[in-house]
Structure 1
Amino acid sequence: MRPSSRWLCLRMIDKRHQSKDSIFFRDGVRRIDFVLSYVDDLNKEWEKKLERRKEFESNLQKAGLELETEDKKESEDGKIYFVKIHAPWEVLITYAEVLNIKVPIKENDIPSMVENPLDCMLAPLRLPEKVMHPEPDYFTAPFSKEKQELYLINDKSTFFSPSMRNRIVNYILTRCPYGTEEGKKKFGIKRLLNNGTYSAAYPLHDCQYWKKANDPNCDNERYTLYMEWARFLRFYKEQPLDLIRKYYGEKIGIYFAWLGFYTEMLFLAAVVGLICFLYGLFTMNENMSSKEICDPAVGGEIIMCPLCDRKCDYWRLNTTCESSEYSHLFDNVATVFFAIFMGIWVTLFLEFWKRRQARLKYEWDLVDFEEEQQQLQLRPEYEAKCTQKKKNPVTQEMEPYLPLTSQAVRFCISGTTVLFWVSLIIASMIAVIVYRLAVYAAFASLMENTRTLQPISGLLTPQLATSVTASCLNFVIIMILNFLYERIAIWITDMEIPRTHMEYENRLTMKMFLFQFVNYYSSCFYVAFFKGKFVGYPGAYTYMFNSWRNEECDPAGCLIELTTQLTIVMAGKQIWGNIQEAIVPWICNWWGRRKARNNPENLYSRWEQDHDLQTFGALGLFYEYLEMVIQFGFITLFVASFPLAPLLALMNNILEIRVDSWKLTTQYRRPVAAKAHSIGVWQEILNGMAVLSVVTNAFIVSFTSDMIPRLVYYYAYSEDEDSPMSGYINNSLSVFQISDFPDENKPQLNPENLVICRYRDYRYPPDHERRYLHSMQFWHILAAKLAFIIIMEHVVFIVKFFVAWMIPDVPADVKAKIKREKYLTQKILHEYELEKLKERLCQGDKQATEKEFIATEGRMELSRAM
């Protein structure tokens, strides 16, 4: 027998009494709540790491945790040690009281909501009741060691759920000391992971995701989540939020609840956007502007001024026939309606989400959970780096603090770094603009026939070719900058040394969102609000850096270019994001587990299988929120230019829910459970973007689309009663005498008998006494644009505030249930205290106990009165 085969046989003998899916110690009784792994590499740091591990594990045992080590000979690759951790009952109840964990005291007897008559129609979308509600609803109260008999403790081994257990153990791990270095106290598993003392720390999944475990004590919740939630074929089913919350914790549960609600609300926006798009599609042939541009007798006879100096030539207006036709898909009267609708939709989404969030807070026992509770729990990194101490005014205990001078210096460095990176992003956008200006002449010379002045490129005009290539280049730059400044933002936030985990996440969120906002939206803002607005006119053009002439919009408007920019960046981001989220982790796991597939299954234990999975990380959920909030910006800030954006977002989110659930269930280690009663600072960011979206869409309709100039012409300048829009194109183009061209602007080749050319503006002709100055029509249109912005903003904001006022943040039935549950819980607790006092009265110490009895009765009467 070969040595390798003999080694495999020995391992099979050693593990014959333990299932590969076991989540218990070797005794089969004590549950594995956490696993630490390390590689015993014999380098210069070996002795120091060994000493740290001994001290750390010794302190864990002193804290009451029980450890069991799997030798490296028992591991799949023969190199990794695994330290299994079990939290016994005494440890759990001690830290459950410290963490203020709520536990059941009585089954909830409040009647459930009245059934919806539409439930029968929604039956195909429903999941089985045992999946949707995996455990009964209880009245709960914060755990207290002194009142153990009050709680419904049927089985101590299952009283605390696995997610609660791993949360408690993680709390101990993050604060357990392992010695002193350079006179400073060192503690926390995070520092040990960073310095290589341990290679991983994670709780275990309860079973394989594709089949149930053989152990009858296993809940098989991972298998249920995979079968009912994580498969794409279940995309039309509701999400089992209670099971997600039970398995992964409230923080991950609230994310999927928000993502699901956002996707549901997108359905309405997608339907309305599709209707607006179809309206533009069906009315394309009725668009008088594109008809005139395409008409050989109108657009074919209008010679336009060159779009760049020297190298560009004169061109006929019907060159842009196809692009003008397609611009009508997005630039029509439905654009105004959809912009107003989306301003109201955003308000409805945010208000209804508050109601949904309030209901979840009640159902998940988070009503009394406040973020202030988290503020009492300092970050281990803060405790380690801050050596000075002062008294906390809340706890009245001495705790570390960061001096004001140190905070000021760190914030100055942080602010300077943020400004530098924002400036770098803006500089990259300017570089793309310079690219657009520099290559336009090249595209124009390739796509125009200077002899006949006829288009040779069909739909692909120089403007569109430049816009598409610049959008692709901009997307590549965005991805590169993303890679860089994600690390910069984390470094800056670490340098600031935030006090609590909540403060750390909020600071990092604001920095990352600021970076992403500038990175993703700057190019769209340029096309929407700057391109074509500061061009000048022939003979007096405006130049960037005195070298490149500013871009002009297509005669049909800049809206089609904004749509192109938005589509490429938005779709590209979603495709790239799904590749990163799904394919990359799968490839990494496949590569890491390629050797294990050749070994017998009983040699590949549960902790080894989870060790080979990817790490979700403390910021894993942060990136998921960031991705969706950036998408939210695309469908709100610029939706007037692209009514199909909500439809694209809807299709992406249907896939996103299943991709996120699939990767979390199958490709990642089980995250440590954490509590959260809301989406946190993201709510404020969404509120800010909702307000900004009203302003941006009003400006897009006014200054980017051609809607206002058409309306002004229709009502004030049209002379044809039968066809009011007839002559609009000729009216919107000004006249320039080519003999007025300076030598530096004049084209190299001039067609014979050409005296004038046309350009997009409202200026007096050369034979007018105010030649080339803005005409009165220009000021009429400008006044109409400003009036439209003011009217649209006020109308939408009034409706928004009225809707927000009309819709209460907490549903009435939830308010009643919260009050009822508080009353019943207080009643149960008071009755318990009265019973204990009566027992003490019987046992002696009558005088003191009678006073306590009277005080307790008084509190009971007071609570009833309230």
Structure 2
Amino acid sequence: MSSLKQQQDSVSSVAEAVAPESWSKVSCPCCVSSEVEPLVLIQLAENVESNTKQWIMDMISAPNRAGGAHLLVHPGEDASWGRIVVAAPRCTLLRATEDLGLCKADKEGNMNLFSFHDRNNFNNVNDMQKFLTLAERQYIVQHELESMRAVKDQRIPGIPGDKGILKSRQNILQKLQKAGVIQDVFPLRDEKKLNALGKEWYLQKRLWGQPLDSIHAYFGGSIAFYFSFLDFYTWALVPPAVLGFFITFFLPGAPPPDGPKADNSTPGPGSLDADDDHLSVSAHMVQAVFSMIWSTVFMELWKRRRAALSYRWGTLTLTEEFQEPRPGFQGEVGINPVTGRREPLFPDWQRQMRVGLVSLPVVGLFLGLVVLGMMGFYYCESTMASIHKASGSIITATLSYLPSVIHIVYTNILGNAYRTVALKLTEWENHREESAFQNHHTTKVLVFTFFNNFAVLFHIAFFRQDLHLLRKRLSSLLILSQVVNQFTEVVVPYVVDRFYSSSQKGLKEDDPAADHMQAEGSLPPFPGLFLEYIELLVQFGYLSLFSCVYPLTAVLLLINNITEIRGDAYKICRLFRKPFSPPEAGIGVWQAAFEVLAFFSVMSNCWLLFLAPRIKVFTQDAGLNPSTVLIFIIMVEHILIVAKLILAFIIPDEPDWVLIKRQQIEYCTMMALKEQKVKHSDTAELPHA
């Protein structure tokens, strides 16, 4: 590594900024290379001394047994430059690939669990840019940085006071971040690959299809699976959209699209407008039954698609390693009884008390605010209905939608406030593992989101039994969300990119890479996919739970999601800093949330079917009392639930070829372990021979 040739086109703009002789050295002969790929940038505080920076670089390049990350580092322009460029040698990347449990293509082209011991049996094992994706290489660097631990008590040079004291087994990166020495760590963008991806992605002329493999290679598993799910969900909206469009405009007796009406009618419980009294029972029933079947088939087919993608992307057999404490975890330093290591410890009973005595009451308080907003909505709705009944004008008919609009704005503001509070509460609960933190945070937000978005709709349907108000409320939600989403997905990104991203756009390819790093560091960090999944979950709830009262639901969602795909792609490529993305085998806890909504769709649609005016008239003409009809609907509900369970059982979660590939991977792994045990036992017996 005494000389460094010009980087490949994908990394040339960054590599030219770093002097060849300034990269740290590697001791492993197979890791010596004429090409070094800068992967991650560490942003230091402005007042960090040069000896502190040198100590950090020494620790990053130190071997694992010395508490380091065994990575390559470069000081940048000079020793006083407030950034450290990090790369990774070959052996570090290969060993981390085995630790993560990634599958890679072997010499025969089959995906197999990678083993460092048998590395020569895999393709492209000597070319890391072909063997691992850019996202995988950058995540491995992050993983190794976060794994650095001090082997003994010491003081960090240049940091006075307790902030500079580093205890044995203490996480080095977390210590430097808490001390304010390291301000940020982020992966470097590859502008040429990013521009090529953009042309293939959000600038493409065709309406359907996404370059999922390219997205996975550049952005990683979590982002690739989100866009794969969004793409699959958008395609799945076509059948219910066609059915809803046909029912609305072509089926005799179907309700027309909702809109203001200048009449003096006042809808009552279980009633619709005058036009809705002619609602076709068959149309209502077809839409309800189709929604129940569609939601189940959609989720089962997605599981099969997820399995196929996880095999193709090598994440079918990810390992569940013992997790290190998350960066925000705090506690008294002690001996972990599981690992025997010194690390911060926090009693579980204290965490449970925080959850039970503080978090749950605060969540309950926000749920109470949802109920308060619902009561205000009903009061305004009744007031506007009285005004409309008195005047009967087109103006009052239009203003009758004002309570719904006001309540939608209220729920959105309340939802934004709650998400901030939920994040603070989860941080205060002090969870040790990142997975526990994410699960508690997601559960809080999901409970509130479900209550905030669907409580009014369920109350209108189940208690007030007012299908007219339910349809008007649902149409208001969908139309307003269309306007807001189109504004945020199209107008806002254009304005931000046009007027507020000039520092990045003004750079040329031949400008110094230090300027590119400076501009990249000025971009805001990617906010994550949490809100994107929430939006899809709410959409799915509207469609699966209540679309039978407003058949155009799927049509509006389909139009929205076509724009959503390109808007999200444009934002993540141009408006934010590139995020780290760990290898993933699916969409995680969100899949369970979608399945829960699919289960509730049976009860919701059966009840709405029971409230259909024509069905009520039919049962009255037949001389059936409401109790008998209700018992019959409950029986039908249970039959449909059983049918959903049977349907989910019939459709396998994995295609047959993926199941066979999984079994082959497990078999090859078992045989490799047996072979290693035999070799180890033979080696152990040699001295006794």
Q: TM-score, normalised on structure 2?
A: 0.81
Deviations 1:261-305 (A, max 9, x none): 2222221222222222234566679xxxxxxx99xxxxx9xxxxx
Change (3 A) 1:811 1:597: closer
Distance in 2 separating the partners of 1:596 and 1:255:
26
Deviation at 1:233, TM superposition (A): 2.7
Answer yes or no: is the 8 Å Cα contact 1:330–1:643 preserved in 2.
no
Aligned twin of 1:387: 333
Displacement of 1:701? 2.5
- Quote the residue 1:486 is aligned against: 419
Q: What amino acid sits opposite 2:437 in the alignment? A: Y
Q: What is the CA distance between 1:817 and its match in structure 2?
A: 2.9
- Over the aligned positions, Cα root-mean-square deviation in angstroms equals 3.9
Partners of 1:202 and 1:672 within 8 A in 2: yes
Residue in structure 2 matched with residue 266 of structure 1 by the alignment: 237
Return the alpha-carbon distance in structure 1 between the equivalents of residues 106 and 172 of structure 2.
Answer: 34
Aligned residues: 640
Q: State the shift of 1:822 in Å.
A: 4.0
In the superposition, relative to structure 1, how do residues 272 and 224 fare at CA in structure 2: closer, same or farther (>3 Å)? same
How far the C-alpha of 1:81 sits from its partner, in A, is 4.0
Within 5 Å, give how 1:95-106 maps onto structure 2. 95-106=96-107
Quickly say closer, same or farther: Cα 1:274–1:328, change in 2 above 3 A: farther
Unaligned runs of 5+ in 1: 1-14, 41-45, 75-79, 109-137, 209-219, 286-292, 295-299, 301-314, 448-455, 534-557, 717-779, 852-866
Kept in 2: contact 1:331–1:641 (CA 8 A): no
Q: Secondary structure at the match of 1:672?
A: coil
User: In the superposition, relative to structure 1, how do residues 601 and 163 fare at CA in structure 2: closer, same or farther (>3 Å)?
Assistant: closer
Counterpart of 2:346 in structure 1 is 402
Distance 1:520 1:332, change over 3 A: same
Letter in 2 for 1:794: H
- Is the alpha carbon distance of 1:341 and 1:67 closer, same or farther for their aligned partners in structure 2, counting shifts above 3 Å? same
Asked if structure 1 preserves the Cα contact closer than 8 Å seen for 2:485 and 2:560, the reply is no
Does residue 630 in structure 1 map to residue 538 in structure 2? yes
Q: Alpha-carbon deviation of 1:38?
A: 4.7
1:231 and 2:203 aligned: yes
User: How far 1:661 moved relative to its partner?
Assistant: 2.0
Contact 1:472/1:568, CA 8 A, preserved across alignment: yes
Do the aligned residues in 2 keep the contact of 1:426 with 1:518 (CA within 8 Å)? no
Is 174-183 or 492-501 further displaced after alignment? 174-183
Larger Rg: 1
Structure 2 CA distance, aligned partners of 1:654 and 1:317? Answer: 38
- Checking the alignment, whether the CA contact within 8 Å between 1:357 and 1:678 is kept in structure 2 is yes
- Counterpart of 1:278 (choices 249, 257, 266) is 249
In structure 2, what is the equivalent of residue 710 of structure 1? Answer: 617
2:650 aligned with 1:806 = yes
SS for the counterpart of 1:23 is helix
Displacement of 1:399 in angstroms is 5.6
CA pair 348-428 structure 1, distance change in 2 beyond 3 A: same
Measure how far apart 1:629 and its partner are.
Answer: 0.9
The verdict on how the C-alpha distance between 1:710 and 1:461 changes in structure 2, with shifts beyond 3 A counting, is farther
How many Å separate the matches in 2 of 1:799 and 1:611?
53
Q: How far off is 1:850 after superposition?
A: 11
Work out the CA distance in 2 between the residues paired with 1:105 and 1:489: 45
- Quote the residue 2:27 is aligned against: none
CA 1:796–1:599 in 2, change beyond 3 Å: closer, same or farther? closer
Q: Give secondary structure in 1 for the equivalent of 2:75.
A: strand
Report the Cα distance in structure 2 between the residues aligned to 1:83 and 1:598, rounded to whole angstroms. 24
Native 8 Å contact 2:280 2:614 kept in 1: yes
Name the CA shift for 1:251/1:594 in 2 (closer, same or farther; >3 Å): closer
Counterparts of 1:313-392 in structure 2 under 5 Å? 324-327=273-276, 332-370=281-319, 372-373=320-321, 375-382=322-329, 384-385=330-331, 387-392=333-338
1:481-533 Cα distance to aligned partner (Å, 9 max, x none): 122111111111111222322222221111111111121122222332333x6
Whole-Å Cα distance in 2 between the matches of residues 480 and 317 of structure 1? 31
**What per-residue deviation string (whole Å, max 9, x for no partner) do you get for residues 74-118 of structure 1?**
9xxxxx84432122234334444443444444232xxxxxxxxxx
Name the residue aligned to 1:60. Answer: 60
SS in 2 for 1:639: helix
Equivalent residue in structure 2 for 1:415, among 349, 354, 360: 360
Match of residue 312 from structure 1:
none
Structure 1 residue 804 displacement after superposition: 1.8
3-state SS of the aligned residue for 1:106?
A: coil
Q: 506, 525, 535: which is aligned to 1:615?
A: 525
- Paired letter, 1:427: L
Query: Helix, strand or coil: the match of 1:678?
Result: coil
Aligned to 1:750: none
Aligned pair 1:476/2:448, yes or no?
A: no
- Partners of 1:317 and 1:160 in 2: how far apart? 65
- How much does 1:688 deviate? 1.4
In 2, are the aligned partners of 1:279 and 1:334 still within 8 Å (CA)?
no
Aligned residue runs from structure 1 range 762-841, under 5 A: 780-783=624-627, 785-823=629-667
SS class of match (1:67): strand
What is residue 201 of structure 1 aligned with on the other side?
185
Alignment match, 2:582: 674
Displacement of 1:195:
7.2
Does 1:848 find its partner at 2:681? Answer: no
Distance 1:51 1:73, change over 3 A: closer
Q: 1:94 to 1:352 in 2, by over 3 A?
A: closer
Which residue in 2 is equivalent to 1:752? Answer: none
Asked if 1 retains the 8 angstrom alpha-carbon contact of 2:248 and 2:255, the reply is no
**Which amino acid counterpart does residue 181 of structure 1 have in structure 2?**
K
Q: Residue 329 and residue 672 in structure 1: after superposition, are their counterparts in 2 closer, same or farther (change >3 A)?
A: farther
1:106 and 1:19 map into 2 onto residues whose CA distance is 26
C-alpha distance in 1 between matches for 2:267 and 2:596: 43
TM-score by length of 1: 0.66
Whether 1:694 aligns to 2:638 is no
Would the aligned equivalents of 1:34 and 1:203 in 2 still touch at CA under 8 Å?
Answer: yes
Counterparts of 1:373-772 in structure 2, within 5 Å, are 373=321, 375-382=322-329, 384-385=330-331, 387-392=333-338, 400-412=344-356, 413-445=358-390, 447=391, 456-457=392-393, 465-466=399-400, 468-531=401-464, 558-595=466-503, 602-603=510-511, 605=513, 606-617=516-527, 620-703=528-611, 705-716=612-623
1-structure distance, mates of 2:367, 2:407: 15
Distance across 1 between alignment mates of 2:266 and 2:508: 73
SS in 2 for 1:155: coil
- Equivalent AA in structure 1 for residue 37 of structure 2: R
Letter in 2 for 1:223: N
State the match for 2:29 in structure 1: none
The 3 A distance-change label for structure 1 pair 154 and 438 is closer
| SS of residue in 1 equivalent to 2:333 | coil
CA distance in 2, matches of 1:191, 1:473: 47
Residues 68 and 84 in structure 1, CA contact (< 8 A), matched pair in contact too: yes
- Give the Å deviation of 1:228: 2.0
What is the DSSP-based 3-state SS (H/G/I as helix, E as strand, rest coil) of the residue aligned with 1:253? Answer: helix
User: Which amino acid is the alignment partner of residue 524 of structure 2?
Assistant: Q
Amino acid at match of 2:444: K
CA distance in 1, matches of 2:381, 2:267: 23
Overall identity of the aligned pairs, in %: 24
Instruction: Supply the distance in 2 between the matched residues of 1:155 and 1:19 (Cα, whole angstroms).
Output: 18
Deviation at 1:600, TM superposition (A): 6.0
Alignment of 1:60-139 (within 5 A): 60-62=60-62, 63=68, 64-71=70-77, 81-108=82-109, 138-139=110-111
Work out the CA distance in 2 between the residues paired with 1:333 and 1:594. Answer: 57
- Aligned 8 A contact 2:255 2:279 in 1: no
- How far did residue 436 of structure 1 move? 2.6
Distance 1:701 1:166, change over 3 A: same
Contact 1:702/1:708 (CA < 8 Å) preserved in 2?
yes
Q: Does 1:34 align with 2:40?
A: yes
- State the distance in 2 between where 1:577 and 1:385 align: 42
SS at match of 1:514: helix
Alignment match, 2:136: 164
